[in-house]
Amino acid sequence: MLNNQSILITGGTGSLGRMLVKLIIEKYQPRRLVILSRDEFKQFQMEQEFPIKKYSCIRYFLGDIRDKERLITAFRNIDYVIHAAALKQVPAAEYNPFEFIKTNIIGAQNIIEAAMFNNVKKVIALSTDKAANPVNLYGATKLCSDKLFLAANAYAAVQCKFSVVRYGNVFGSRGSVIELFLKQKQTGEVTLTDERMTRFWITLDQAANFVLKCLDIMKGNELFIPKIPSMRVTDLINVICPDCKIKKIGIRPGEKINEMLISNDEARYCYEFADYYILKQPSLYLSETNLPEGGGKLVSEDFEYKSNNNKVWLTKQDIKKIVDDYLENRI
């Protein structure tokens, strides 16, 4: 799909963006691969890993998704956009709400308008489990962003399609609790918000591969959700810091005990596939379901996909293997 095509990744210098770049240049021969971000130092660092002399298709493009004019320039002659740029820290959102609105919501609208202006073929936006029944500002901004991208299919040009990928915590991404626990391990004391806390987890390479798969099969107006395991935060602490003293600090502002990927209210338009779900919310202007090949079956009306009622859980042995792989291959 991506051979001889031009791809742009917003937030391309982040952990997931770098993994996407790695996979794309390993699997495909793109005409251009544009990494758009606002951090020149991270672009400099990334260019050491993916130098233009070796990877002639790569372009490093400074820009902020808050700047629509810059996006219009960046999207010129682009075929596919993967939108990974966002502000993501829950406590920071509670204290700086409008900064998150400007990036996560207004920035999303800028992506949509720049893509339609340049007749981009497909745009896939990355979301979070915190957008399902959000209780914090970050989740609320991503829910609004998701709605914008899906609604764009009703008024975009026929060629321009928009979809969303929603998944849980990415194991080892920048700002991940794993790095915090590894750092705290050196002190002998680790902080725990609540011993009941559970989370959905997905590794960087799994997340990046799922995004590329969804980009391939998307027809527009889908919200893709992978089937991924849950993990108890206490199990992660026991694997990383087995001998550390645990200090309970209480739940942070805007934090949940358990996360959700599909709410009960979304079950009415949720289709189950072998390894993922698709939410196809009905629209007055988009009457066709257009599911990927292989169909998909509507889930029951009482279905709910939460990190504490998941059928698949990571054991401590699973977690140890993932942590060891992360320490060996971290990017």
175 found inside a domain: no
The pLDDT value recorded for residue 325 is 86
Residue 149 has pLDDT above 90, yes or no: yes
> 57 to each of 17, 19, 44, how far by Cα in Å?
16, 16, 16
Supply the residues annotated as catalytic: 130
| Max Cα–Cα distance, the chain, nearest Å | 58
Residues 58-105: tens digit of each pLDDT: 999 999 999 999 999 999 999 999 999 999 999 999 999 999 999 999
72 found inside a domain: yes
327 found inside a domain: no
Instruction: Mark residue 24 as left, alpha or beta (left: phi above 0; alpha: psi -120 to 50; beta: remaining).
Output: alpha
Q: What is the pTM of this model?
A: 0.94
| CATH classification at residue 43 | 3.40.50.720
152 found inside a domain: yes
111 found inside a domain: yes
pLDDT band at 284 (very low <50, low <70, confident <90, very high): low
Domains contained in the chain, number? 1
| Residue that is written with structure tokens 């997931």 in the block | 16
Residue 125 has pLDDT above 60, yes or no: yes
Which strands make up the sheet holding 169-171, listed edge to edge?
A: 169-171, 198-203, 230-232
Residue 287 has pLDDT above 60, yes or no: no
Residue 290 has pLDDT above 80, yes or no: no
Could you tell me the two tokens for 236? 């992660």
Rounded Cα gap, residues 252 and 136, in angstroms? 10
289 found inside a domain: yes
- Mean pLDDT in residue range 269-274: 94
- Mean pLDDT in residue range 274-287: 81
326 found inside a domain: no
The residue range of the domain holding 297 is 6-168+202-227+260-302
138 found inside a domain: yes
Residue 196 has pLDDT above 90, yes or no: yes
